[in-house]
Structure 1
Amino acid sequence: MEANAASSAAAAGDLRRRLHVVVFPWLAFGHLIPFLELAKRMAARGHAAVTFLSTPRNVSRLGAAAVPPELSAYVRLVSLPLPRVDGLPEGAESTTDVPHEKVGLLKAAFDGLAAPFAAFLADACSAGADDEAAGFGRKPDWIVVDFAHYWVPHIADEHKIPCAIFLSFSASLLAFHHQKSRAANAADDKHTRTEAEHLMAPAPATTSNTLPSDLAYRRHEAKFIAAAFEPNASGVSDVDRMRQLRQRCAVVFYRSCPEAEGPPCRLLADVTGGRFLPTGLLAPSPAATANDGGGDRDEAATDLMRWLDAQPERSVVYVALGTEAPLTADNVRELARGLELSGQRFLWALRAPPAAARDELFPEGFEERIAGRGVVRVGWVPQPRVLAHAAVGAFLTHCGWGSTVESLQFGHPLVMLPFVADQGIVAQAMAAKGIGPEVERNYDDASFRGEDVAAAVRRVMVEEEGKVFVRKAKELQEALSDKARQDHYIDEIVEFMRSYKFTGGA
């Protein structure tokens, strides 16, 4: 009995030493997952009890297994009801639930979370008014938000709680935009930054600018990014959301580290005076991903793993273009042609374009011709488990930063086929590191040919150059495998939180 009492006292003391941090990601799984990983890392390091906020369906989809049992006392998932918005599909609570043209409506619904968030925060502050309170009974010490939450700092200020922004983007992307913005401000030429041509030009060279000299958006990418300067269906542009947040938040955390990206991280540190801090890559451990229970519950996913078990080591190209790349039926057909022409084994996780019949997506006879050496799975695939498998030798990817991070920890060379958002910048930065080629394409309309897909795949899997890509990827994997160093980034951001003195806004 005395031992139990001592244990309870120790647990209470542990909770009192922890901050109470609220993390609140944007409604996209490419954001939900790294925010949850950040929450778990802060809890596992003994730094914080973390309240993770999202909407009911997203919390349900993350599932009970999202937080391991040993962290269940320190990480809780809390739902806020998403308001209905005319035109938004029933049950849509994340970007995976809507076509790209309706994401603005999702942002409008998201802005309706301001009232339930204010009520949640008022309750949390009332319950934790006692400075000696512990864990989730303590008033929140910090709120960590995403790019979209421009209305949160105003609510947090009422309770004297500081805010941080966590951007799950690469340092290369952030450094590029920071340098472009500085140059436009210096030239008093702010209007040009909204034009595609401005985004297609590399950031001007300075003594602190160590970005690749030709890093810039291509035309189809630049048009997509330029749209972020215009108000969407929510009435607020993405750029204006970020601008307001940057003015009111104390610090920006970003998902990268010098071991992964090097010069862009140093640039951000040099030119922002410590206002940008890396979190590390926040990649799940290989052991955890290799035993992901989600795959075991899905018979089809288990069949995929059995198929991989039967393939030679490093012989399979894993193909996945994320959940939000704007794939057309033509894109799918050319990718299918390229995989067939390459002659290589492949496992393709395909998110089919809306309203496209399977027999209309592929060249006639495609599935019969690739039977045995190629598998196409329409629907969910346990990506981390696949990437961890010894049969996988390369990853054909859209270069979303989350997928890139997952690949880096397993040392795979990349075949890169970016589409929108940050993907082109990530692809160029990874190509500059020598870990794989981009698929050649028409940069005006984003089209590509099967022959160019096949050529890029063969460069990695067949040609002598592939050995260099593998070596570079393995070197990067080794540099990122220092767990103590990755943990240190978490320690540093929490140390910033502990030492920061709130003065009524950033």
Structure 2
Amino acid sequence: MESGDALHVVMFPWLGMGHFIPFLNLSKCLAQKGHHVSFISTPRNLQRLPKIPPNLAHLITLISLPLPKANHLPDHAESSMDIPHHKQQFLKMAFDLLQPPLTTFLATTTPAPDWIVYDYASPWVPKLAARLGISRAYFSLFTAAAMAYIGPPWALLSDEYARTTPEDFTVVPKWIPFESDMAYRPHEVLKIFESSDEDELVGSQIEAATSDIERFCLSIGESDVVFIRTCVEFEPEWFNLICELYQKPVVPVGVLPPFWDNNETGSDDNKLVGVKEWLDKQIVNSVVYVAFGTESTLSQVELTELALGLEQSRIPFVLVLRNPTGTTLNTIEMLPDGFVERVKSRGVVYVGWAPQAKILGHSAIGGFLTHCGWNSIIEGLGLGRVLILLPLCNEQGLNARLLNNKTLGVEVPRNEQDGSFTRDSVADSVRLAMVKEESEALREKAREMKALFGDKSVNDHYVDGFVRYLVENRTSRLRA
């Protein structure tokens, strides 16, 4: 590629590990085609990123913008994984304060950016980019089904379609024209609206939820194009619907499977060696992997029921936990008395960040008990693992509805009002997914998904279409 033909694309993800990695993977896709990327985040978050392959390092520049100080946030907090769930809105307020330094960078960097690809949490980026003559693309890291549920810009802030109470979120939106159960259950939406006992939190969670709706509305509505991390073959009805709702170009980029990247960092290698040695001794497809991402946490009661359910299931397992953010609690100490000792012959408990894709890729792993984050779903299905669904927060309940309707998972039964579940429901769900004869069709369907989610050629086709769109609609062409 001639140097004059190369794009300069600015990537500006939200401050969450589940957002950094897909943005970085998309950056690598652009660099592999010879295009230049400026990847912008805060200092601590840039240090958390996997190493960029040496052959691409000259094309991906990491741009560090210090996160401005904000009230109610610890000094070290630069990511959603650094703070408890009830402080997320404060992190968004700090994120908004990056507008001045980002403006300076966009206005002065050379060559001038052709595109800025941004996340849902920075709705001020589109107007800023338009003022500077930079094309703007919203990159959705959610399924098309979840985005359809959230709604089109023209409806999000209208009185007719306003959703202001928890009950409003438990019904299927009016703009979904086909039969569906795509809505939150009462206990799921209450987490969005729950109040905190901390005096420092002002206003209500209703205001906070409305703020997020505004972020989605402006991020989508004022973009030139919407890129979305999905495959049309997986959810065609939902993809077609958002194309109709958004009334602008919507371009799928594929699922960007992270397990193609062997540069995962952050784990304790010695601990990982122990996990691998244990897995090497297990029967193929016999072990269930249990993990809940970088933000979701279980309460003491939930962790107790989960642990005792795994023990009761008699299925070998790898349980990955992390210490709750913002507390002095130790997760190991929260487990039932004697649990680790009782299960040591058929279970591994791993505390800390773990290289999930590497563990899931081991031949002994047959199932994945997951919080239903889209990143984790992609990893699980990309490796053909049957899913056991235990959604905890954010859009995860919507993802569970999607997977249930496509018979791609077994959901742990819960009380719909308070979200509680029992050790019996965990044990029964794990056994149903992993070994019961009546679920063989479910396991087979999960294995078939590997041909879509884990096929590099399929995803390369989507990436090619994404890059082609950027090139054909670059700023210089628009100016001409």
Q: 1:345 to 1:180 in 2, by over 3 A?
A: farther
TM-score, normalisation: structure 2: 0.91
Q: Is the 8 A contact 2:259 2:358 kept in 1?
A: no
Task: Give the CA deviation at 1:492.
Answer: 2.2
2:188 corresponds to which of 218, 221, 224? 221
Q: Is the 8 A contact 1:254 1:277 kept in 2?
A: yes
User: What residue number does 1:37 align with?
Assistant: 25
User: What residue number does 1:196 align with?
Assistant: 166
Task: Give the CA deviation at 1:176.
Answer: 2.1
Letter in 2 for 1:248: E
1:159 corresponds to which of 106, 128, 132? 132
TM-score, normalisation: structure 1: 0.86
SS at match of 2:468: helix
Q: Is the 8 A contact 2:157 2:214 kept in 1?
A: no
Q: Is the 8 A contact 1:157 1:504 kept in 2?
A: no
CA distance in 1, matches of 2:112, 2:460: 26
Q: Is the 8 A contact 1:218 1:443 kept in 2?
A: yes
CA distance in 2, matches of 1:271, 1:155: 25
1:73 corresponds to which of 51, 55, 58? 58
- The answer to whether residue 457 in structure 2 is matched with residue 475 in structure 1 is no
Q: 1:504 to 1:495 in 2, by over 3 A?
A: closer
Q: Is the 8 A contact 1:229 1:237 kept in 2?
A: no
Q: 1:260 to 1:184 in 2, by over 3 A?
A: same
Q: 1:45 to 1:226 in 2, by over 3 A?
A: farther
User: What residue number does 1:298 align with?
Assistant: 269
**Structure with greater helix percent:** 1
Q: 1:51 to 1:215 in 2, by over 3 A?
A: same
CA distance in 2, matches of 1:358, 1:197: 34
Q: CA RMSD in A?
A: 2.6
Letter in 2 for 1:150: P
CA distance in 1, matches of 2:100, 2:153: 36
Query: More deviation in 479-488 or 455-464?
Result: 479-488
Q: 1:214 to 1:74 in 2, by over 3 A?
A: same
Q: Is the 8 A contact 1:58 1:93 kept in 2?
A: yes
User: What residue number does 1:319 align with?
Assistant: 290
Task: Give the CA deviation at 1:225.
Answer: 4.3
CA distance in 1, matches of 2:322, 2:266: 19
2:253 corresponds to which of 254, 279, 282? 279
Q: Is the 8 A contact 1:259 1:480 kept in 2?
A: no
Any gaps of 5 or more consecutive residues in structure 1?
1-12, 129-137
Identical-residue share of aligned pairs (%): 41
Task: Give the CA deviation at 1:153.
Answer: 2.4
User: What residue number does 1:253 align with?
Assistant: 227
Question: Which of 1 and 2 has greater Rg?
Answer: 1
CA distance in 2, matches of 1:19, 1:489: 18
- The answer to whether residue 351 in structure 2 is matched with residue 366 in structure 1 is no
CA distance in 2, matches of 1:306, 1:17: 49
Q: Is the 8 A contact 2:77 2:83 kept in 1?
A: yes
Letter in 1 for 2:100: A
Q: When the two structures are aligned, how many residues end up with a matched partner?
A: 467
Q: Is the 8 A contact 2:137 2:223 kept in 1?
A: yes
CA distance in 1, matches of 2:389, 2:428: 12
1:344 corresponds to which of 311, 315, 333? 315
Q: Is the 8 A contact 2:31 2:60 kept in 1?
A: yes
Task: Give the CA deviation at 1:285.
Answer: 4.3
Q: 1:121 to 1:501 in 2, by over 3 A?
A: closer
2:465 corresponds to which of 467, 492, 497? 492
Letter in 1 for 2:218: Q
CA distance in 1, matches of 2:40, 2:153: 33
Task: Give the CA deviation at 1:27.
Answer: 0.3
Q: 1:180 to 1:473 in 2, by over 3 A?
A: farther
CA distance in 2, matches of 1:45, 1:39: 10
User: What residue number does 2:412 align with?
Assistant: 439
Superposed, 1:130-169 pairs within 5 Å as 138-169=111-142
Letter in 2 for 1:246: I
1:118 corresponds to which of 86, 95, 103? 103
User: What residue number does 2:238 align with?
Assistant: 264
Q: 1:179 to 1:452 in 2, by over 3 A?
A: farther
Any gaps of 5 or more consecutive residues in structure 2?
195-203
User: What residue number does 1:242 align with?
Assistant: 216
Q: Deviation per CA, 1:232-284, whole angstroms, max 9, x where unpaired? A: 4xx98111122222332111111111123232112223443453221110112
User: What residue number does 1:4 align with?
Assistant: none
CA distance in 2, matches of 1:375, 1:35: 32
Letter in 2 for 1:392: I
Task: Give the CA deviation at 1:373.
Answer: 0.2
Letter in 2 for 1:30: G
